[in-house]
Chains A and B, each alone.
Chain A
Amino acid sequence: MTSVGTSSRRKEGPEKLTGEARYIDDYPLEGALHGVTLRSRVALGTIREIRFDPSFDWSSVVVAAASDIPGENSVLLIEKDQPLLASHEVNHLEEPILILGHPDRAKAYEALGRVLVVYDEGEPVLTMEEALANGAVFKRYEIVKGDLEAGFREADVVVEGEYRVPHQEQAYIENNGVAAWEEEDGTLVVMGSMQCPYYVHKAMLGLFPRAPEKIRVIQTTTGGGFGGKEEYPNLIAGHAAVLALKAKRPVKIVYDRAEDMRATTKRHPARIRHRTGVKKDGTLVVQEIDVLMDGGAYATLSSVVLSRGVLHATGPYECPNVRVVGQVVKTNTPPNGAFRGFGAPQTLFAAEMQVEKVAAHLGLDALAVRRKNLFREGSVTATGQVLNESVGAKEVLDRAVAVSRYLPRKKECERWNRRKSAPSWRGVGLAAVFHGAGFTGSGEVYLRSRATVSLLPNGDLEVEAASTEIGQGTTSILASIVADALEVPYDWIRVSTPDTAKVPNSGPTVASRTCMIVGGLLKRSADALRRALEKEGIAWPPTPAVLKRAARKLCANGRPFGFVQEYEPPSDITWDDTAYRGDAYGVYGYAAIVLEVEIDKLTYEVKVKDLFTAQDVGRAINPLLVEGQIAGGTAQALGYALLENAVFENGAMANASFTNYVIPTTLDTPEMRVEIVEKPYSRGPFGAKGVGELPMDVPAPAVAAAIHQATGLFLTELPLLPERISKAMHDRAHRQS
């Protein structure tokens, strides 16, 4: 009867396979207006005047502005700096100014074209270097371990490197969309595509002050998130609601692709500098790392993204002397935000490239340098955290190296590359990473997540949590965990739709935390329910008839008989937010990858031929879903490495379409060999850690390393486009001649 460890079928799979699943745009809303957003056409300025074309019939258009917001005009997240609608200043292109509504979508767009905003334009800051020079720093962190100077004195060799990573668009296939309306009893209802219903709830409370229970947020089937629907839906929800209140009708706002790409959040671009001291045998003695990230125009989640970035900046290696400084700055570009990996793919790209560079300097293979320094049980991280359990770094590296035949494969590529007549170059790349599971530092303590397992009056068993199914398998893994805790079949467990009127706040669906943290709460809740039922004299495991009888007795007044559990911080996990010392994460996942590329000598196109990856997830609750996460994250990271080039012009994305911003297709994605490694975590449910973000961290540096072997070019900036390879080739030829 066990479900954990087996590939139970996705709970909501059938409805997704028949078209019955309803996404926000699939709901017909009686009498609804289509809301569209008037956005800033300048990157910095003040609004002097807004003119409505007098030749246009405005009688059936409803317009909402900042002055229509009953509460505070700010979108509550971490800081309060971002207005819901700009009223005076605009700080980036595409900043929302007005919301227009019309019953007909095409008419709404037509009206949009009849509004003219006159600005007094300012001089925008568009690069992070300029912002840093101006001192426009949102947040700065510093991590110190050991003695940097002593480390550099001790080093045989010091290697410096600078790396750059660009914006990346989440590119969920379902664009953002939210609907809102007010019920007769004054409840403001928000329904839509989102990762974090309670984030939306919190933001709505600030904008539309009322009793918390008078705001109800419901998640609809969500067509992908990847972080892109973590915080941005707060804005769209506010926009839909402010117009709905003004129009006294439901409002639906669904973005088209161009608007979604141009206006919403992206992965933070970053510049990372390394100065590394090593012994001749490759032993790390000192790492000095400087991280600079571009936050865009408002603070949003940038401080937390930077935090995860600096905490992963060393790579999965032990080093006695470390200093990491991170800063995220303000530029006049659309705010950057959450994206799978959340700062770590940026800094880990740099860390892994630096290992490659150090190895090349020492004349060693990068594998040997990694093996020398890799985290193992008992290792101490840069923040002084002792890794005392579930450290799968060596296992994943060994597994990836073995299944890929890394060393012989490298030799084969060398032989191939010696053939002058060959039409291509070939190369093998390797990378290894770690990724903290759950919120950083004290995050989980502040969140105080809650989740419930209940016996319903009809005898069904139900999971209640605000954790959203966005394609990763939340519904199914939570059901598996509860099924096994109760020793009942997986099919007996229902998982309720996240609706703030019904489910407790189990926290946001982010940070690879759902399985480990929320799954853990639910396991405890299921254990409590089982104990209570056993106390009632129920023999275990029960039959459906027994559960039905118990429900009749225990569900007083038709109320579910449930056990809410709240997160309890383990007493031995300690974190100092001011000194940035201690246990940055409860536990880490580990991943390694080996891939082979083939580069066309004529076009410089890079094809990933073969790919092997091993990832330590603690315990795979559902191996099929874990493989899906790993293959999907790997493909997304291959896009980051090779294809995805967000071209910014004058402060916003110029190629905001799938025609010009290219994400991987079936033909850009290789067949992958995925190896799941299980090093159980004592505090995770059935040993599980996180998996969502880990696969995003590891492919990009491996691709760059493979190109290094293939061509001898050490490329330090993503994406590794043919143009960039071509230029580097020509520059090198020029230098040599």
Chain B
Amino acid sequence: MIELTVNRKKRRYRGPAFKRLLDVLREDFELTGTKEGCGEGECGACTVILDGEPVNSCLIPVAQAEGSRVLTVESLGASSRLSPLQQSFLDRGAAQCGICTPGMLMTAVAHLRRGGAADPEAVRDALAGNLCRCTGYQHIVAAVVDAAKRERKRRSRAR
């Protein structure tokens, strides 16, 4: 049995230890917000936050996540009450077909939580591992820049 914390809830998994974290989240925990795009760590659609770091959950055997804290897109706001980052995505038109969106959001969340820079170049660097075929990234970068600016303002006020 493997224990891990998913979206702040303790979870137990019984099954093959080398099952991909992606499949455990989707099949065993029924958290289908995390998507599979390529299964080889290239597209970033399956990005989740593992102990604070964005990772491709298709490359992580669940055994490696034992005792870890995992955050998925389901940990953000609900559709009736979006988080500020999700709201920026909506306002800027950053989600089109939506399949890359959960992974893109989780990478962006990690960037914001690190206090990442709000300039477009830094945001592009942070998102370089997440493929999107719809947007040309323009609106995604704008949404994350907006959110990063707000986050930095909030942090400087908090100091």
Determine if A17 and B79 form an interchain contact, defined as CB atoms under 8 angstroms apart. Answer: yes
Contact B93 A173 (CB under 8 A): no
A635 to chain B, nearest CB (A): 3
Q: For A263, list chain B residues within 8 Å (CB).
A: none
Give A596-639 as 1s and 0s: 1 = Cβ < 8 Å from B's Cβ atoms: 00000000000000000000000000001101101111111000
CB–CB A658/B98 < 8 A = no
Which residues A655-674 have CB closer than 8 A to chain B? 657-659, 663-667, 669, 671-672, 674
Asked, given contacts A17-B79, A19-B33, A173-B133, whether A257 binds B93 with beta carbons under 8 Å apart, the answer is no
**Given that A257-B40, A634-B136 are contacting pairs, would A174 and B35 also be in contact in the complex, using a CB cutoff of 8 Å?**
yes
Chain B neighbourhood of A674, CB < 8 A: 138
In whole angstroms, how far apart are the Cα atoms of A599 and B55 in the complex?
33
Contact of A23 with B138 at beta-carbon distance under 8 Å, contacts A14-B82, A625-B93, A657-B42 already known? no
A22 lies within 8 A of chain B by Cβ: yes
Residues of A within 8 A of B78 (CB): 18
Q: Is the CB of B128 within 8 A of A667?
A: yes
User: From B127, which residue of chain A is reached at the shortest CB distance?
Assistant: A666
B contact residues around A320 at 8 Å (CB): none
Is the Cβ of B96 less than 8 Å from the Cβ of A173? Answer: no
A18 touches B137 (CB 8 A): no
**Cα A657 to Cα B76 with chains together (Å):** 31
User: Please, which residues of chain A bring their CB within 8 A of the CB of B128?
Assistant: 665-667
In the assembled complex, A113 has its CB within 8 A of some CB on chain B = no
Number of interface residues of A (CB under 8 A): 59
Q: Report B-chain residues with C-beta under 8 Å of the C-beta of A347.
A: none
Q: Is B98's CB under 8 angstroms from A223's CB?
A: yes
Q: Are A669 and B137 neighbours in the complex by a CB distance under 8 Å?
A: yes
Instruction: Give chain B residues whose Cβ lies under 8 Å from the Cβ of A665.
Output: 128-131, 137
Residues of A contacting B91 in the complex (Cβ-Cβ under 8 angstroms):
9
Whether the Cβ atoms of B37 and A174 lie closer than 8 Å is yes
Measured CB to CB, the closest approach of chain B to A676, in angstroms, equals 14
- Chain B residues whose CB sits within 8 angstroms of the CB of A635 once the complex forms: 135-137
In the complex, chain A residues 471-517 whose Cβ is within 8 Å of any chain B Cβ: 471-473
Tell me if B86 is interfacial: C-beta within 8 Å of chain A.
Answer: yes
The one of A16, A174, A659 in contact with B95, judged by C-beta atoms closer than 8 angstroms, is A16
Known: A16-B95, A19-B33, A471-B98. A663 touches B139 (CB 8 A): no
Are A631's CB and B35's CB within 8 A? no
A317 sits at the interface (CB 8 A): no
| B148 at the A interface (CB under 8 A) | no
Q: List 24 A-B contacts (CB under 8 A).
A: A9-B90, A10-B90, A10-B95, A12-B98, A13-B89, A16-B98, A17-B89, A17-B95, A18-B77, A19-B74, A20-B33, A171-B133, A172-B97, A174-B35, A224-B97, A624-B139, A625-B93, A627-B139, A631-B135, A657-B40, A663-B131, A664-B136, A665-B130, A666-B125
Residues of A whose CB lies within 8 Å of any CB of B are 7, 9-10, 12-23, 25-26, 28, 170-175, 221-226, 256-257, 470-473, 624-625, 627-628, 630-636, 657-659, 663-667, 669, 671-672, 674
Please list the residues of chain B having a beta carbon within 8 angstroms of any beta carbon in chain A: 26, 30-40, 42-43, 45, 72-74, 76-80, 82, 86, 89-93, 95-102, 105, 120, 123-125, 127-141
The 10 A-B pairs with the shortest beta carbon distances in the complex, nearest first, are A19-B33, A471-B97, A223-B99, A16-B98, A635-B136, A631-B136, A14-B79, A658-B42, A471-B96, A26-B32
